[in-house]
Amino acid sequence: MKAVIQRVSEASVFINEKLISQIKRGFLIFVGFAKEDNQNQVLKTAEKILKLRIFPDEKKDMNLSIKDIRGEILVVSQFTLLADTKGANRPSFIKAAPREKAKFLYSLFVEKIKSSGLKVASGIFGETMKVKLVNEGPVTILLEE
């Protein structure tokens, strides 16, 4: 499982030029699942992200979590995080989970994030989306579990 967590001032998802989801200050999380990923791993990673301390405190040190600031979260599925580029110029996606498994794990991940009580929005699994964001910091964390 791979996740890219971006600290944002705002983020939104559009499909066919129509606004689907949007958030204010918080996390934009791109998430992709590998063939070997399982439910326990997904739940553990979601919990870790909710505890990740990458927001500034009063001293401007990164000591606060998304929960501490009562931020908002936008989750977007992105299987291309599993791209293998070590071979030819065309990426291989053979490490990515099959569609149905990835869809199940994505739904599980979103539900676990929603259980935080924070405002949570999401993209639509398998759709072509346009994602707009304002990265704050900039802060971008790559999490591989």
Give the pLDDT of residue 87: 80
What residues are annotated to the active site?
A: 78-80
Please state the rounded mean pLDDT for residues 18-22: 98
Per-residue exposure over 60-81, b if at least 16 CB sit within 10 Å of its own CB, e if not: eeeebbbeeeebbbbbbbbbeb
Q: How much is the average pLDDT of 22-32? A: 98
Q: How far apart are CA 125 and CA 122, in angstroms?
A: 9
* pLDDT reading at 88 higher than 80: no
Mean pLDDT of 61-89: 95
pLDDT on residue 120: 98
- pLDDT-derived band of residue 3, with 50, 70 and 90 as boundaries? very high
- How high does pLDDT run on average in the chain? 96
Res. 4: pLDDT tops 90: yes
Give the tens place of pLDDT for each residue, 60-74.
999 999 999 999 999
Mean pLDDT, residues 65-91: 94
Average pLDDT of the residues in 113-122: 98
- Burial 85-122, CB ≥16 within 10 A → b, else e: eeeeeeeeeebbbeeeebeebbebbbebbbebebebbb
pLDDT of residue 47: 97
Domains of the chain: 2-144 (3.50.80.10)
Helix axes 39-51, 99-114, angle to 10 degrees: 40
pTM of the model: 0.95
pLDDT band at 89 (very low <50, low <70, confident <90, very high): confident
